[in-house]
Amino acid sequence: MKRIHIVIILFLSISAKGQTNLFPHAKQKWVDSVFATLSVDQKIGQVLMPRGNSSPVYDTTRLFSIIRDYHVGGFVLFAGYPTVQAQLVNELQKRSKVPLFIGMDLEWGLNMRLDSTVRFPYQMTLGAMQGNDALIEKMGFQIAQQCKRIGVHINYAPVVDVNNNPANPVINFRSFGENRDLVTQKALAYMRG
């Protein structure tokens, strides 16, 4: 009986491992079939990701016409409210012939762009932490989960710039620090999450 349990556990762990890419050919076939239906203008549009946001002062109907007129591949969203944005992303996806990529710059979480959300520490603060890369990895995981919940596929973070130019105020606290090895180490921990 004990052997049967071991065999079942072994089988399940092996079969679960292989589930990440069950039908790679089917996925590629689908992509090829959709791509084959696109005109040249639509194919060009697929590489475009214009800016937008979900704040009340922004005319989101403009985004609908951009999908219709330019056949864009996605949007980079910058400001708004999380629930409104999730609804907007769903509406944008419905109106597009091809699934859209949605990107945001969320270095310290959704709070960088969306109100009433959790704000994680700036990267400079994370760079100052000694031996706590596991916490950075957990933070990266939490940010990824939040992105997934609101329909964001691409987070343009972490910033991997090295803060070694005092005349460049843009980087400043957005960097993990001035040591390239430290920046690399912390950025990799963030990305693993």
Share of the chain above pLDDT 90, in %: 77
Within this chain, do residues 193 and 118 fall inside the same structural domain, yes or no? yes
14 within a domain of the structure (yes/no): no
The string of pLDDT tens digits covering residues 85-104 is 999 999 999 999 999 999 99
Within this chain, do residues 97 and 117 fall inside the same structural domain, yes or no? no
Q: What average pLDDT does this structure show over 62-74?
A: 97
> Is the CB of residue 85 less than 8 Å from the CB of residue 63?
no
DSSP 111: G
Within this chain, do residues 127 and 173 fall inside the same structural domain, yes or no? yes
- pTM, to two decimals: 0.83
Q: What average pLDDT does this structure show over 29-47?
A: 94
Q: What is the CATH number of the domain that holds 61?
A: 3.40.50.720
Question: Domain containing 79: what range?
Answer: 37-104
How many domains is the chain partitioned into structurally?
A: 2
Within this chain, do residues 66 and 117 fall inside the same structural domain, yes or no? no
- Residue 155: what are its φ and ψ, rounded to 5°? -105, 115
* pLDDT surpasses 60 at 129: yes
62 within a domain of the structure (yes/no): yes
Within this chain, do residues 76 and 124 fall inside the same structural domain, yes or no? no
59 within a domain of the structure (yes/no): yes
* pLDDT surpasses 70 at 18: no
Share of the chain above pLDDT 70, in %: 89
- Helix, strand, coil distribution of the chain in percent, nearest 5: 55, 5, 40
Last residue of a domain, one of 104, 130, 148: 104
Residue with tokens 């960088």: 112
How deeply is 169 buried, as exposed, middle or buried, from its count of CB atoms within 10 A (0-12, 13-18, 19+)? Answer: exposed
Within this chain, do residues 133 and 163 fall inside the same structural domain, yes or no? yes
Q: How confident is the model at residue 21 (pLDDT cuts 50, 70, 90)?
A: low
Q: What is the pLDDT of residue 27?
A: 87
The string of pLDDT tens digits covering residues 166-181 is 888 889 999 999 999 9
Last residue of a domain, one of 104, 135, 159: 104
Q: What is the pLDDT of residue 56?
A: 85
Q: What average pLDDT does this structure show over 104-120?
A: 95
Instruction: Compute the distance between CA of residue 89 and CA of residue 54 in angstroms, rounded to an integer.
Output: 9
Mean pLDDT of the chain: 89
